[in-house]
Amino acid sequence: MDEWANGRMGESWADGGQVMMGKREIFVNCLHMSKKLCTFAEFFANRSKVSYSFSTYLPYYRRNLRLAFPVMLTQLGAALVGLFDSIMVGHYSTADLAAVSFSNALFFTVMVYAMGALMAITPIVGYEVGKNEGEKTKERITALLANGLIFTGLVTLISLVLLGPCIPLLGMFGQDPEVVVCARPYFILIVLSIVPFLFFCLCKQFLEGLGNTTVAMVISIVCNLLNICLNWVFIFGHFGLPAMGAAGAGLATLIARLLTAICFVAVMFWKNDWRQYLVGIKRNMLRWREVVHYVRIGTPIGMQSFVEAFLFTSSFVFIGWISKEALAAHHIANQMADMTFMLATGIGAATTIRVSHQLGKGDLQAVKMASRASVHLCLVMNTIGAAIMIGLRHYLPYVFTEDEKVVEIACTLILIAGLLQYSDGLQCIGAAMLRGIQDVRVPMRIAVFAYIGVALPLGLVLTFPLGMGAKGMWIAFVLGLAIPAVCYHVRFNMQWRRMSEQKTGESK
């Protein structure tokens, strides 16, 4: 039924000469183990009696995973770069680790807004791909790419305007003076890197809309490996170069992101199927209807991403008021949570692609099944992630640092981060489902209420007046993210029923 995703699950593997259970069987068992979690999630989404048949969902698992797996590797690669940044910088000095944490908190607030805005490209392009109207579709997609460049330029300019003034003001956030000194050169370098990075995001989202998630994976893996190698060279000072600490990590990031943009341009020109969209860019440029459409869809998505990032960014600032050890521990727990969140965003990206394609075809049943399959997959992934984090919480902090004060705090925070996996994963998939049907304004309002209206003030109360410290903020994360985790799925189910009733009425 779906020409965008076919393939087989995986081959058997061996260990110690004995053939073990194949990947497909392991995947089947994991899904059966999480059946109760799946039905629990669908209870909130459908508010009706839930039935589950693995054989019915299996084709949807396969198609979703075929798209999601490369995105997972792409996102996981990005998280691993951040992880290696933290590990290497943490072994250089605690002050440099706190500087990277503080700088990234400020930077990612704006960058997440920009990345969220550019996510609008995937469902808009995907919907046109699903319609499949021949030359008309080709011309329409070319126009979307051309004006996507303009939209990306506007988003990049806004990002630089917001981040630039922060450079001389880093000392005004109440951080340790030693941390501010280390943070400034690192922050300048990562701000510069946002230009090639957002161009990379444009190309990635466009190709995902076409149904291709592999190219971004390959480019990301190559450039991320380069980034890690350059980290080792610049942070510690090898091959005759001076040790740069946090600034070395920033320089490595800038070089790697420049390379990702260059690689994408090369690939787009090299592949005939994609070059056809580049040929017509000039004549389709400045179609303001397309730009406005991107703004209408992208701005709410960007704001939704922004308020979530603002919650986490604020937590870095507030926890930095406690001590640099608490801030470093908070950064470690956040890094661990990011690793599993990257898997959820991979499934989410596949969900948006599948939903937008099926919506373009007018197949609402496939829209529903693909969305539910993503919920099931997310629950399996997050169950595994939570088990690892909770089970290894006493050992994981030592990967980042040998400071016993940091390790003691981090153990508790990683435990709470493990509990966060379910609400965080479900809200991620719910938001992706709604993006696929281009429903973005109500989810933005839900996000503002949950993150700014509930989680942030609750976190402040638990952290300071009630004296719970950093763990108080993490408890607020768990409770705050549970709100969109439920509301997004209820909203999607309501919208799906509305579209079904509308389609039924039109067919009569």
pLDDT in tens, the chain (508 residues): 333 333 333 333 334 443 334 444 544 444 444 444 444 444 444 444 445 678 888 888 999 889 888 888 887 777 677 777 778 888 788 788 888 878 887 888 788 889 999 999 999 999 988 887 777 878 888 888 889 999 999 999 999 999 988 888 887 777 778 888 888 889 999 999 999 999 999 999 999 998 888 888 899 889 988 988 998 999 888 888 888 888 888 899 999 999 999 998 888 888 877 877 777 777 777 778 888 999 999 999 999 988 988 888 788 888 988 888 888 899 889 888 887 887 888 899 999 999 999 998 889 999 999 999 999 999 998 999 999 999 999 998 888 888 888 999 999 999 999 999 999 999 999 999 999 999 999 999 999 999 999 999 999 999 998 989 889 999 999 999 999 999 999 999 999 999 988 887 766 5
Task: Classify strands 14-15 and 18-19 as parallel, antiparallel or unpaired.
Answer: antiparallel
- Give residue 474's domain range: 31-498
Q: What per-residue confidence (pLDDT) applies to 164?
A: 86
> Is 193 inside any structural domain?
yes
Please tell me the total count of domains within the chain: 1
User: In the structure encoding, which two tokens stand for residue 242, read together?
Assistant: 């001076």
Q: Which two tokens stand for residue 270?
A: 């090299």
- For residue 153, the tally of other CB atoms under 10 A from its CB is 14
Give the pLDDT score at 159: 92
At residue 23, the pLDDT reads 41
First to last CA, the chain: 25
**What pLDDT sits at residue 19?**
36
Residue 127 resides in a domain? yes
Q: Tell me whether residue 21 is in a domain.
A: no
Segments in 132-213 forming alpha helices (H): 135-163, 177-192, 194-210
Tell me which residue of 436, 424, 423, 421 sits closest to 491, measured CA to CA: 436
**Residue 304: Cβ-neighbour burial (10 angstroms; 0-12, 13-18, 19+):** buried
Look at the alpha carbons of 443, 141, 215, 62 in this order and tell me if their dihedral is positive or negative.
positive
Q: Tell me, yes or no, whether 203 lies in a domain.
A: yes
Return the H-helix or E-strand segment holding 496. Answer: helix 470-507
In a domain, 483, yes or no: yes
Structure-block tokens of residue 407: 């390790």
Residue the block writes with tokens 């690793």: 339
The Cα diameter of the chain in Å comes to 77
User: Does 4 map to a domain?
Assistant: no
- The C-alpha atoms of residue 108 and residue 103 are separated, in whole angstroms, by 8
Instruction: Tell me, yes or no, whether 13 lies in a domain.
Output: no
Q: What is the pLDDT of residue 30?
A: 46
Residue 191 in tokens: 């701000």
Please give the single-letter amino acid code of residue 187. F
SS3 465: coil
- Smallest CA-to-CA distance from 357 within 201, 500, 212, 491 is with 212
Structure token digits, residue 19: 């053939």
Decide: 316 and 361 in contact? Cβ < 8 Å.
Answer: no
Question: Token pair for residue 157?
Answer: 């300019």
| Residue 2 included in any domain | no
Task: Report whether 330 contacts 313 (CB < 8 A).
Answer: no
d(CA 132, CA 227): 39
